[in-house]
Chains A and B, each alone.
Chain A
Amino acid sequence: MAVGLEHFLILSAVLFSIGLYGVLAKRNAVIILMSIEIMLAAVSISMAAFSRYSHVITGQVFVIFIMVVAAAEVAVGLALIITIYRRKKTVDAEKFDLMKW
């Protein structure tokens, strides 16, 4: 059947769920970050799909901005991971519980 908007949206949803699982269930902080990237990519796909199927360019502009933010966020996030690794010698997310009380 012809590929329509729904296909892209479903693909986006699937990718987003996979990324969500990775964020919530994995213990290695770097994997969590990678999963976040997957989620962002999924959202980007759905944005681009909307842009294509409604002929409004704003979707793609939005994707540009998503990329900008993603890049910034990865930079800062990785810096954080390195700092924590230096202190605690681990990147196990279950060990990061300084926010407890």
Chain B
Amino acid sequence: MMGLDIAFWVLAVVSVSTALAVVLMRDVFRAALFLVLCFFSVAGIYVTLSADFLAGAQVLIYVGAIAVLIIFVIMLTRESRQGSPSGRLRLPAILIGLFFLITMLFVVLNTDWHVVAEPPAESATTAIAQALFSEDGFVLAFEIAAALLLAAVIGAIALVRDK
């Protein structure tokens, strides 16, 4: 278990610092690159959680598609001077963020989680597949998700096409 712990800590530090970089950095493009790193580290965390399928999906979808799209749009909406300044609500946002964090910490640390220490025996992929596609699983949700994706695609195209 030592390896897992080390991996967790490293990945945790990386993800937090890259996330910080994303929100604090002035240059938008660099922020996007740090976002990519953040996603990668999150994928790593999935691995430490024995969620291998999720890790793969994370890299494919987030890094491969979402981050790329974001970089495209950054290129398209270049505001050379502005970059990414902070808004008026900096102070309230910091306060809210801290307050939320403290609340969450309070909840997490004071709840008696009934945990099972060993990692699950079964392979995650199989379990996910069964949960998604079996009769008493999430088939309906799966189908609706597909419809959602279709709607999103149509919507995106409808929004940006020239009339």
Q: How far is the CA of A10 from the CA of B152 in the complex (A)?
A: 33
Q: Report yes or no: B86 in contact with A52, Cβ–Cβ below 8 A.
A: no
Q: How far is the CA of A82 from the CA of B157 in the complex (A)?
A: 11
Q: Mark B117-150, 1 if CB is under 8 A from A, else 0.
A: 1011000100110111000001001000100110
A-B contact pairs, 5 of them (CB 8 A): A21-B23, A37-B39, A37-B62, A52-B120, A60-B128
| Chain A residues with CB below 8 A from B113, complex form | 5-6, 53
Q: Report yes or no: A25 in contact with B155, Cβ–Cβ below 8 A.
A: no
Q: Report yes or no: A11 in contact with B45, Cβ–Cβ below 8 A.
A: yes
Q: How far is the CA of A90 from the CA of B78 in the complex (A)?
A: 9
Q: Given contacts A48-B46, A61-B128, are A28 and B138 in contact (CB under 8 A)?
A: no
Q: Mark B66-98, 1 if CB is under 8 A from A, else 0.
A: 100110111011010011111111101110111
Distance from A55 Cβ to chain B, minimum over Cβ atoms (Å):
5
Q: Given contacts A20-B100, A78-B73, A92-B82, are A14 and B51 in contact (CB under 8 A)?
A: no
Chain B facing A: main interface SS: helix
Q: Report yes or no: B101 in contact with A17, Cβ–Cβ below 8 A.
A: yes
Name A residues whose Cβ lies closer than 8 Å to a Cβ of B: 2-11, 13-22, 24-28, 30-31, 33-35, 37-38, 41, 44-45, 48-49, 51-55, 57-58, 60-61, 63-65, 67-76, 78-83, 85, 90-94
Q: Report yes or no: A79 in contact with B155, Cβ–Cβ below 8 A.
A: yes
| Chain A residues with CB below 8 A from B32, complex form | 30, 34
Q: Report yes or no: B16 in contact with A9, Cβ–Cβ below 8 A.
A: no
**Of all chain A residues, which has the CB nearest B84?**
A28
Q: Which of B58, B108, B159 contacts A6 (CB 8 A)?
A: B108
Distance from B130 Cβ to chain A, minimum over Cβ atoms (Å):
8
16 more contacts with CB within 8 A, not counting A7-B8, A37-B35, A51-B49, are A2-B1, A2-B5, A3-B8, A6-B108, A11-B45, A14-B101, A15-B15, A18-B16, A25-B23, A41-B39, A55-B116, A67-B62, A69-B145, A71-B66, A75-B155, A76-B155
Q: How far is the CA of A48 from the CA of B85 in the complex (A)?
A: 34
**Of all chain A residues, which has the CB nearest B155?**
A76
Distance from A45 Cβ to chain B, minimum over Cβ atoms (Å):
6
